[in-house]
Amino acid sequence: MNVLGIIASGVAALFITVALAKSARRVALRPRIPDEPGGRAPRAEALRRTGG
């Protein structure tokens, strides 16, 4: 494999890594329970009510 092939495969790997990181971040930031106002989990709501 020549130098251009190595560079091209490195660029492709970097592009794939960035794309996967963006999609994983989007999934992590998505609210877990869409029916709950504000996207909070029930446990967080219970802690807020009890002052914990």
Q: What residue spans of 1-52 are helical by DSSP H?
A: 3-29, 42-50
Residue 41 and residue 35: Cα distance in Å, rounded?
10
CB atoms within 10 A of CB 36: 13
Residue 52 has pLDDT above 60, yes or no: no
Residue 33 and residue 24: Cα distance in Å, rounded?
17
Q: What is the pLDDT of residues 3-46, one digit of tens each?
A: 999 999 999 999 999 999 998 888 877 776 655 555 555 555 55
**Residue 16 corresponds to which tokens in the numbers above?**
């794939």
pTM for the full predicted model: 0.48
Residue 15 and residue 13: Cα distance in Å, rounded?
5
